[in-house]
Amino acid sequence: MIPELNIDLPKDFKVEVHTTQNRGFTPEEIAERCAEKIISVSDEAHPAIQAQARAFQKRIVQLVGFYLREAVKSDRTTVYNAIKDAGHPDLAELIRRM
Amino acid sequence: MAFSGNFMCTSFKKELLEAVHNFKNSGGSTFNLALYTNSASFDASTTAYTATNEVSGTGYTAKGGELTRVDPSTSGTTALTDFADLTFSTATITARGALIFNESASGDPSVVVLDFGGDKTSTAGDFTIVFPTADASNAIIRIA
């Protein structure tokens, strides 16, 4: 007799929604999300392993946050030059000072 | 009429067996995520995208945003796939849930119904859908 072949497509998935009001996400907020993708810590893991993983996750947040801020600064330089070259030096200066 | 939980569409299960959907990062189908108000009524019997009760507002256009596919993989005996988080930037919108559908397949067939659990609002800000960890217990689409 052939055993039953059962393919299960679970529906216990859950997405999260993050929103902001009158601003974008900060590099730190995005870094937190990034670290969650890189390292997930099981509640069933040994407490010592959980602590080690969370410490590593915290370090990842700091590191990714730093490079995100660098990317923002670099992009702002690009935007500054694009706006200045388009003949709007005052607006470009406002963006540079953000 | 309201969202009543997350659902894997029954028609999607059938269409998997008919090779309608391809989740590969390169050369796969185009999957979109559309946002809806709580007036929408979706469940497992939902078969396709509809513009009825879709949200409208600054930073959002009909059919929502295109999802970035992550190559399917396996973990133990479970196959799974994932999408990159999706952000509607500088958006002023309120949504209660979402529908993921195959935009490149005939008829825009639905994949999953997502219930946010409550209205989510962004005002001149970012509205981001964060997908769960891509593992055998949490990934958005798993075949166990």
pLDDT digits (tens, 9 = 90+) for B1-28: 689 999 999 999 999 999 999 999 999 9
pLDDT > 70? residue A93: yes
pLDDT > 70? residue B88: yes
B8 interfaces chain A, CB cutoff of 8 Å: yes
pLDDT > 70? residue A4: no
Which pLDDT band, with edges at 50, 70 and 90, does A6 fall under? low
Give the residue from chain B lying closest to A25, CA to CA: B126
- Tens digit of pLDDT for each residue in B29-87? 999 999 999 999 999 999 999 999 999 999 999 999 999 999 999 999 999 999 999 99
Which pLDDT band, with edges at 50, 70 and 90, does A3 fall under? low
B17 interfaces chain A, CB cutoff of 8 Å: no
Q: Chain A closest CA to B6's CA: distance in Å? A: 6
Local structure of residue A84 (DSSP, 8 states): H
B131 interfaces chain A, CB cutoff of 8 Å: yes
Average pLDDT, chain A: 91
Amino acid A11: pLDDT: 75
Strand order in the sheet with B78-83: B69-75, B78-83, B141-143
Which pLDDT band, with edges at 50, 70 and 90, does B144 fall under? confident
Tell me how far apart the alpha carbons of residues B14 and B143 are, in angstroms, rounded to a whole number: 13
Q: Chain A closest CA to B106's CA: distance in Å? A: 23
What single string gives the DSSP state of each residue in B29-50? --EEEEEE-TT----TT--B--
Residues A13-24 have a mean pLDDT of 94
Give the residue from chain A lying closest to B93, CA to CA: A19
In which residue are the tokens 């995100």 written?
A: A68
Q: Chain B closest CA to A88's CA: distance in Å? A: 23
pLDDT > 80? residue B140: yes
Q: What's at A97, amino acid-wise? A: R
Q: Measured between CB atoms, which of B44, B121, B144 is closest to A8?
A: B144
Tell me how far apart the alpha carbons of residues B61 and B75 are, in angstroms, rounded to a whole number: 36
